[in-house]
Amino acid sequence: MSTPPLHQLGARAAAKAIAAGTLRSQALMEALLARIDAREPVVRAWAHLDREEALRQAREADTRAASGALHGVPVGWKDIIDCAGLPTGCGSPIHRDRIAAQDAGAVAMSRHAGALVLGKTVTTEFAASHPGPTTHPMNPAHTPGGSSSGSAAAVADGMVPLAIGTQTGGSVIRPASFCGIVGFKPSHGLINRFGVKQLSDTFDTVGTFSRSVEDAAWLVSALTGRADLAPAQATRPASIALCRDSDWSEVEPPMLAAIEQAMSQLAGAGVQVRTLDLPPSFDGMGEAHKHIEYFELARALQPEYRGAREHLSAAIRGRIETGLALPPQAYEAALALRQDCQRQMTDLLAGVDLLLAPAAPGEAPQGLQSTGKATFNRLWTALGLPALTLPHSTGARGLPLGLQFIAGARRDAALLSHATWLEALFRRHP
């Protein structure tokens, strides 16, 4: 069997090889930079790269003994997250020249684990809906998803083994599905958000992109300092419920076929599978999510709106103005519905290890004017539950279809453990 090129090496495999002395971090960094040089003109995943600084970090790592689980491994960071000495542009001309004075909390934790900062990945404007220039790595006529566009595309294309994104609606789970990689949105607040440009305090969640569940587990363990999250042992879930809500009609036929195939695979492997239809009280959660997000972003983005409104897209201006016009009573009512649904979900999850839902309506849509719909992600973000995208199959256009698995509140370690088993099942029985 031929050895895969260095740019395809997974994060844990790379870290082990570097620690063993069979791979130099500089060689890995050079391979990734060569891949970026070859592919970036088409994929356009990077907002900022300092090649000399990236190589300097790698050379320095090679002079030291392994200092952590990700020693010598490069990571890409969504361009709303501060990395000391690099711009944090937020996908907007307003912040194009703002240089971060210090690392965000998650960046500092990654350095503590020995990881290197490769660069900043493209985000939509303020991690909202106005797209950046990134294209799908398998077909540049299609969106890679958003708002963590660059992070998903860079990992999928072999430009970096790990990348960080954020999710306020569906900005980790959906692009991971579109690009055919593993996206992990942890429980709200599990990964520290200091130094991350705020959109919605209630929903903003730092998440990860990788090409395996193992790499996701090691990365989130490094970012949180929690050893219980990695290594994730493969554990078969006893029961999985397919969750259907009021938006189920938006599931496209290829995704529906993938879900049906997965249910058959799970049943054949001894997992108890059933269907869970959410009660009518959940029907208002889509509108509640919108009210909470828009109310909060209208206040978080006031400096930009008041000081440089002409440099904001019409899309983000519209969201801010909608949020400013929203009565506080509507915001409070949305928060109350969210809290009620969180209580109900605890009861609904009794006796169920995981929920299964589409990660997106279907394949990545054609065109770069939109990053796709977060229809099947908003509920889980709103409830603060951990969710993970697993690549499953491909659709009619040959683009990836991902399945979304959701666990109960703060059951991140269990989700990663079960996902490790599910990943192996889907790879054995494509």
State the catalytic residue, choosing from 78, 120, 197, 290: 78
State the catalytic residue, choosing from 129, 148, 151, 171: 171
Peptide bond into 147 cis (omega under 30): yes
Judge whether 147 counts as a catalytic residue: yes
Using CA atoms of 192, 198, 204, 210 in order, give the dihedral in degrees to the nearest 10.
-70
Judge whether 171 counts as a catalytic residue: yes
State the catalytic residue, choosing from 92, 110, 129, 147: 147
For residue 408, give the amino acid letter: G
Q: How many CA atoms lie within 13 A of 138 on its CB side?
A: 23
25-43 vs 11-20: helix crossing angle, rounded to 10: 150
> Is residue 133 a contact partner of residue 122, using CB atoms and an 8 Å limit?
yes
> Please, which residues have CB within 8 angstroms of residue 242's CB and are 6 or more apart in sequence?
259, 263, 273, 274, 275, 276, 355, 356, 357
Peptide bond into 231 cis (omega under 30): yes
For residue 50, give the nearest of 38, 34, 33, 63 by alpha carbon.
Answer: 33
417: left (phi over 0), alpha (psi -120 to 50) or beta: alpha
- List residues with catalytic annotation: 78, 147, 171
